[in-house]
Structure 1
């Protein structure tokens, strides 16, 4: 994730693999796609990942994750498969990923895992979204970094659940890239690729707290990027991040932040049965638990500080909502 001045319009440079085979420092790195049906509570999430435990580069593997969310039946299908790294492709000079026989490249994503299979095309022209100040993508802090090389991606094709095909025609989502030497200790993360009345509006937001050294942790910090009505509100500076307010539980999250131009507040929620539970191994050791849904509800309020004008954005079932924790008290079953 090398974000440098002069990167220009080649978004795929942001999807070059950071990991170098043989390194002893632990590392995880994921390239994932997600999109929602325009009207129904259906969504897919496809994740192509490298996992390398600290101190043992020979144990590095490729992981293929897939979830089909079905808010109509309440039955979400989850799959995960692992492959030796020599059966994978994660090149450092281009975006052309393979895990087993599953491929991900500009404009195309194909594969199969468990009861799920997919054959999808995607396109888009939006500029990348950075959830951190650009300089932080080049250093060792924070240990985990995330960006969106292609927001508001449009998908076509199909995926199948146990042989039952679901047609994908103009679903909106995103192409994403994240990774680092360790997972953030605790976070909530949200994304909306198109609100109900504003299909071209995009939101990316996170609240996080992480360890610095031993018992020393950062304060809670919230960063947010909102693109709406042709303007980008990027509220990602460290000063504003630690001044933002946020509270969350397993299935709800409220946050507020702002800058000299706007105040932005939001709430993202979902019922327990909208989530799947996933085990994320941490490169230094241990396991984090991810509560993951792509069919949450969101409400965002924007207030213009100059005019006082307030606007409300809503989606009833198109929000990504993830929570990372070390406990197991949520009642969400860990599926993979």
Structure 2
């Protein structure tokens, strides 16, 4: 889980924790109370200051018996137990089609520290007008242990712009990628923009190249390459051959394709591989998303067709490493209120290429948390046991695995008529072929253990998943 961060200044660590409270509310106009449950995931961009005031963001679920069950509740906390003697909650949620705000605070007093820290009186408002009042309590007996265990102090990674500048420092034998995929809900068209820097192993001059591809619902896939061209050494992203991928803007042309898109990040960074592997490039390669989700607006032209995009969902990802895997599979799935990212790969090293694929699976939940908690969990399990598994193939490939009380099954189908085959060249000159579609189908089933396995969420994507299989 990641707290919102600031790049280059402020605290290098944030705070994240989970809190659940139970209570009752009496709605205005009713003569009885209703049970209430509030489950929150709280994040702050600094370590909590007991003697000061900390502003934090909250996401979670509000349940009011017979009236509300909103998993998209969000708001702010003001945590100031000693400086202002209060912890204030402002949470907005939807109930029966109405937008309401829960406003209350724990009045912290040294005379009754335990009772004052665990009781939250609140008032409900609708458009600034009172709609009810109630009180919540923190259940010490059942809630204290999970509350304390949930505390994390994640490193502040910075915003999406932090991850746009090139990582390459001049060493030979490196490749670096900026790629963007998106789906236009209005037409069903998929888009793929690939920008790549290659520094050959033999020490020759680095070069930049890439391609653009459009996957319409009717007609064949259209694509065109740009480059190779001299690397222009930009400071804020990719720029070469008249093509640019910079924070907030994607522009360029290739063949008869033209694009000019504004990018609006809509989520925190998502590290598909372990976070440390991006900061310290010790693995053969690492992949991450500067923002788990982004919206794209602008135009894309190909042939005689021009697409006008307005808030189209997608994402930009980054790769930095020594080249492509021996075999790999990739999936980006926008699940509406959640995002799933999967990379499964087999190493090119002679001994390791005989092993099954290492799977890195990250599910960004609606409350801002990520499952599984650690990226290493899906790849190596516990001492090699419990690793997630991937069966790479075409037109269908699958991923299965279990972590904690949840297990997942992902089935991806890449129809041949929606798939584009392109060749990659590694820094050492070796070649690989990827088969990519921005109009894949996917079935995702998430189950939870409640004495037996029961479905928790199920998603079906019909032509809106982004997927790729690579081979040599």
Which secondary structure state, in structure 1, belongs to the residue aligned with residue 293 of structure 2?
A: strand
Q: 1:232 aligns with which of 360, 365, 370?
A: 370
Whether the 8 Å CA contact 1:41–1:70 is kept in 2: the answer is yes
The alignment's TM-score, normalised by the length of structure 2, stands at 0.62
CA contact (8 A) 1:240 1:258 kept: no
- For the residues of structure 2 that align with 1:83 and 1:182, how far apart are their CA atoms? 17
In structure 1, the residue matched to 2:43 is: none
Tell me the alpha carbon deviations over residues 66-106 of structure 1, each in whole angstroms, 9 at most, x when there is no partner: 00111222x111111214325x3442xxx332122122211
Q: Do the aligned partners of 1:64 and 1:99 also contact (CA within 8 Å) in 2?
A: no
* Aligned mate of 1:16, from 143, 152, 165: 165
Say yes or no: does 1:49 pair with 2:196.
yes
Q: Deviations over 1:287-310 (max 9, x none)?
A: 100101010011111112247441
Q: CA deviation at 1:140?
A: 4.7
Aligned to 2:126: none
TM-score (norm 1): 0.86
The CA distance in 2 between the partners of 1:33 and 1:168, in whole Å, is 14
Matches within 5 A, 1:36-75: 36-58=183-205, 60-73=206-219, 75=220
1:274 aligns with 2:418: yes
Confirm whether residue 297 of structure 1 aligns to residue 456 of structure 2.
no
Which 5+ residue runs of structure 1 have no aligned equivalent? 327-336
C-alpha distance in structure 2 between counterparts of 1:298 and 1:201, whole Å: 14
Alignment match, 1:85: 230
| Contact map agreement 2:159 2:290 (CA 8 A) in 1 | no
Q: Which moved more, 1:314-323 or 1:133-142?
A: 133-142
Structure 1 pair 318–189 and aligned structure 2 pair: CA distance change class (3 A): same
Query: 2: distance between equivalents of 1:67 and 1:104?
Result: 15
Answer with 1 or 2: which has the greater Rg.
Answer: 2
Inter-CA distance 322–185: structure 2 relative to 1 (3 Å threshold):
same
1:85-131 Cα distance to aligned partner (Å, 9 max, x none): 25x3442xxx3321221222111111101110001111023111111
1:260 matched to 2:385: no
Residue 320 of structure 1 pairs with residue 466 of structure 2:
yes
Query: 2:392 maps to which residue?
Result: 248
Match of 2:37 in 1: none
Q: Name which of 311, 315, 321 aligns with 1:174.
A: 315
**Mapped partners of 1:229, 1:137: distance in 2:** 24
Q: Using CA pairs below 8 Å that are at least 6 residues apart, which structure has the higher relative contact order?
A: 1
Measure, in 2, the Cα distance between the counterparts of 1:202 and 1:8: 19
SS in 1 for 2:250: strand
Preserved contact between residue 41 and residue 72 of structure 1 (Cα < 8 Å): no
Worse-superposed segment, 257-266 or 108-117: 257-266
What count of residue pairs does the alignment treat as equivalent?
311
Counting only pairs closer than 5 Å after superposition, residues 306-317 of structure 1 correspond to structure 2 as 306=450, 308-310=453-455, 311-317=457-463
- Counterpart Cα distance in 2 of 1:301 and 1:216: 30
Q: Does 1:150 align with 2:291?
A: yes
